[in-house]
Amino acid sequence: MSEFLAMGGYAWYVWMAYGACALAIVIEIAAVRARRKRAFDELRMSAAPQTPSMLGARGSR
């Protein structure tokens, strides 16, 4: 296992490269999810522009 992590002495270079890619993917997926959530939240806001007390009266859509 430690041999695997050592990458023949090139550990710094290999893991900085693989680590950056992993991090970038995680961040991009999180960002797209956040964008989707924000878009749907705004859609829901604009589709139901009434005061909170009225929401219960409307029931489910």
Considering the complex, state which of residue 5 and residue 57 has its C-beta at the smaller distance from other proteins. 5
Does residue 25 touch other proteins according to CB under 8 A? yes
In whole angstroms, what is the distance from residue 5 CA to residue 49 CA? 56
Question: Could you tell me which residues come within 8 angstroms of residue 58 by beta carbon, excluding any fewer than 6 positions away?
Answer: 48, 50
In whole angstroms, what is the distance from residue 25 CA to residue 22 CA? 5
Considering the complex, what minimum distance in angstroms separates the CB of residue 9 from other proteins?
7
Q: Which residues bind other proteins (CB under 8 A)?
A: 4, 7-10, 12-14, 16-18, 20-21, 24-25, 28-29, 31-32, 35-36, 38-40, 42-44, 46-47, 61
